Amino acid sequence: MIVKAYHKVIGDFKLAGNPIKMSSYKDEKTRGDIPDLDEHREKILKEFG
């Protein structure tokens, strides 16, 4: 249930994975890069606007 992600300042980072496992859903052991605070703010606001 522990997965790995990467942060450009911290480096490798371990975090809790999804506790619910379904046979039809592939649960990867690594995640994408961890975004910075407000990194995707404009994109998200446009989706709601």
Per-residue pLDDT reduced to its tens digit, 3-27: 999 988 889 989 898 888 787 877 7
pTM confidence score: 0.55
- How many Å apart are CA 15 and CA 3, to the nearest integer? 6
pLDDT at position 38: 93
pLDDT at position 39: 92
pLDDT at position 30: 81
Long-range contacts of range 8-11, CB-CB < 8 Å, 24 or more positions apart? 8/33, 8/36, 10/34
Domain ranges of the chain: 2-48
